[in-house]
A = this chain, B = another copy of it.
Amino acid sequence: MIDYRSDNTGRAAPEILDAMVRANSGTALGYGADEWTASLQERFSDLFETKVRVFPVATGTAANALALAASSPSWGLVYCSEAAHINTSEANAAGFFGGGLKLVPVGGNHGRIDPDAFARTLASVMSGQLHRGQPAAVNLTQASDLGTVYPLDDIRAIADAAKRRGLKIHMDGARFANALARLRCSPAEISWRAGVDILSFGATKNGGALCDAIVVFAPELADGLAVQLRRAGQVWSKMRFASAQLMAYVENELWLRLAAASNAAAARIAAGLAGLPGLRLVAPVEVNELFLELPASAMDALERDGFQFYRRSATLARFVCRFDTSEAEADALTAALRRHCTAQMGPGSARAAE
């Protein structure tokens, strides 16, 4: 079996579990008052080239929902892509933690918000229209849920429009490292320097084990968030074991190496599919995910070959690469796709596909 189901089906990077084991000596104050968590604040402030507050949390859903709850009053509107994880896959956690805040999808392609569509949406909301709720925040998924990234200019354009209306900018960085690796820019550039106020900093999908984090750039959001986290049951008493994971994750650029590896595997597969008839990439492959339209019979054949992946619909399949997806596994998928898709086209098509 070759597993392309998700980046969360994979192993943790051994360095991360090693760090937990190393942290297991002596006693340490609970609830984040330990040395590991103090070091984490410094390490991430270096990493982001500005003073940040970092809060380890158990999951990306917790990171997103609590970051948004900190960014919006309970009657706020939070703009997001139709395909955004907070809108499709988190059981309305943002609405729950946000005390009834409402998600409002905005148009755009490949899982992203279009800056112009966002500006038009904001312009259509009069201030004081109590019956609609009030614009409060915008959520950007970087990388997006369709495996694309926001170019820097788009982040800036959306953030500028948002800030002119007093909105906060939240970035869902469940695949932040993958986006960084793709864009080859610094963590600061695609976050606070582009206008981001608060970041869900994902580790789990990229070799982490049991924690992600919230990174706060806008200092006024941090103190309230700290109480909310405590109340949300997201503050481990033995926090050192979470902070140690996150320290190991960024140590020696581990996170960027892991992300570069999964991105490269996806790119290798995409390259191998170029020009292949019978399938279609529904979004450019910019990080570690491929969304392919292909015949149901080809999906059946892939499964018979031992490939695991998710069927999003009768004709849409998602393949996700992990940091430990090997070149051989990538090539095996490419070969199988070529085999099954060209088979669909008949002998003539097969030749045409060469």
Contact residues of A with B, CB < 8 Å?
3, 5-6, 8-12, 14, 17, 20-21, 24-31, 57-63, 65-66, 73-75, 88-93, 95-103, 130-134, 204-205, 208-211, 224, 226-228, 230-238, 241-242, 308, 322
Q: Which of A12, A29, A92 has the most CB of B within 10 A?
A: A92
When chains A and B are docked, how far (Å) is the Cα of A231 from the Cα of B74?
A: 10
Question: Which residues of chain B are near A241, meaning CB under 8 Å?
Answer: 12, 209-210
The reply to whether B75 and A237 form a contact with Cβ atoms under 8 Å apart is no
The reply to whether B131 and A91 form a contact with Cβ atoms under 8 Å apart is yes
> What distance in Å separates the Cβ of A106 from its nearest Cβ neighbour in chain B?
15
> What distance in Å separates the Cβ of A137 from its nearest Cβ neighbour in chain B?
14
> What distance in Å separates the Cβ of A332 from its nearest Cβ neighbour in chain B?
15
Question: Which residues of chain B are near A233, meaning CB under 8 Å?
Answer: 57-63, 65-66, 90, 93, 232, 234
Can you spell out 9 A-B residue pairs with CB atoms less than 8 angstroms apart? A5-B27, A11-B27, A61-B231, A61-B233, A62-B234, A65-B233, A93-B233, A204-B236, A232-B233
The A contact surface, by secondary structure, is loop
The reply to whether A96 and B99 form a contact with Cβ atoms under 8 Å apart is yes
- Chain copies in the assembled complex: 4
> What distance in Å separates the Cβ of A229 from its nearest Cβ neighbour in chain B?
8
When chains A and B are docked, how far (Å) is the Cα of A57 from the Cα of B227?
A: 19
The reply to whether A231 and B133 form a contact with Cβ atoms under 8 Å apart is yes
Question: Which residues of chain B are near A12, meaning CB under 8 Å?
Answer: 24, 238, 241
Cβ-neighbour of A59 out of B5, B14, B235 (below 8 A): B235
Given A74-B96, A99-B74, A210-B210, does the pair A133, B227 have CB atoms closer than 8 Å? yes
